[in-house]
Chains A and B, each alone.
Chain A
Amino acid sequence: SQKIEQNSEALNIQEGKTATLTCNYTNYSPAYLQWYRQDPGRGPVFLLLIRENEKEKRKERLKVTFDTTLKQSLFHITASQPADSATYLCASAGSGNTGKLIFGQGTTLQVKP
């Protein structure tokens, strides 16, 4: 079955460093991948979408890559800040409907001052 996996272990980094989160997919080839931020007790907030024909996408301090050979997307936050501490979710659409998302389990990022 279609599966998205993220490192479930929390990532702890020092303020100012670059955080890198990994998303791997198996048993299908998503047309695009999305990254969301979720704070405790809140709904996910959309951050970035990258299509399969795009190698890299940037938005301010965020960068996402999509490697169809490795079946992997990397999510980078440069110059990380304590306010970046949250859980980051990788998601892709199941076959057909673009609104029906399959989520990874999320990686919790903790940025220490």
Chain B
Amino acid sequence: GAVVSQHPSRVICKSGTSVKIECRSLDFQATTMFWYRQFPKQSLMLMATSNEGSKATYEQGVEKDKFLINHASLTLSTLTVTSAHPEDSSFYICSASDSSPGRNTIYFGEGSWLTVV
């Protein structure tokens, strides 16, 4: 079935550095992907909507210059956490909507654990 893949699944980076997380739809095209953040024992909070070929739309309170989103193709969106700080440590999850005939389902990636030390 349709799969959304995230890479890396776990990453540790030093404070002040940048880290990139990839989200790929493996067998369908996604003009729109979504990035969520989840802190321990809390629910998923939408960060931004990634639009293929155009700028991402950020939710209120999410810094667009800190969380850079690039939707370079119909199957790939990337989230770059710039100048990472320990408080950015979290579980980042992407989702993509497969709106092909007969599907119309949202698929989530497996998530990426970011630890900033």
Contact = CB atoms under 8 A, between A and B. Distances in A.
Interface string B94-115: 0111000000111111110100
Contact of B49 (A36, A97, A106): A97
Interface string A90-111: 0000000111111111100000
B28 interface: no
A42 interface: yes
> Main secondary structure on chain B at its contact with chain A?
strand
Contacts of B91: 41
B110 A98 contact: no
A105 B43 contact: yes
B78 interface: no
A99 B95 contact: yes
A98 B91 CA distance: 23
A64 B42 CA distance: 23
Contacts of A105: 42-43
Interface size class of B (residues with CB under 8 A): 20 to 34
A28 interface: no
Interface residues of A, number: 19
Given A41-B113, A44-B44, A89-B43, A99 B97 contact: yes
B51 to A, nearest CB: 10
Contact of A45 (B43, B104, B108): B108
Nearest to B42: A105
Contacts of B67: none
Given A42-B111, A43-B93, A43-B111, A101 B43 contact: no
Nearest to B107: A46
Nearest to A34: B106
Nearest to B93: A43
B77 interface: no
17 contacts: A36-B108, A42-B110, A44-B44, A45-B108, A46-B105, A46-B107, A46-B108, A98-B104, A98-B106, A99-B34, A99-B95, A99-B96, A99-B97, A100-B34, A102-B46, A105-B42, A105-B43
Ranked nearest first, the 8 interchain pairs of A and B with the lowest CB-CB distance are A99-B97, A43-B108, A105-B43, A103-B43, A43-B111, A103-B44, A43-B110, A44-B108
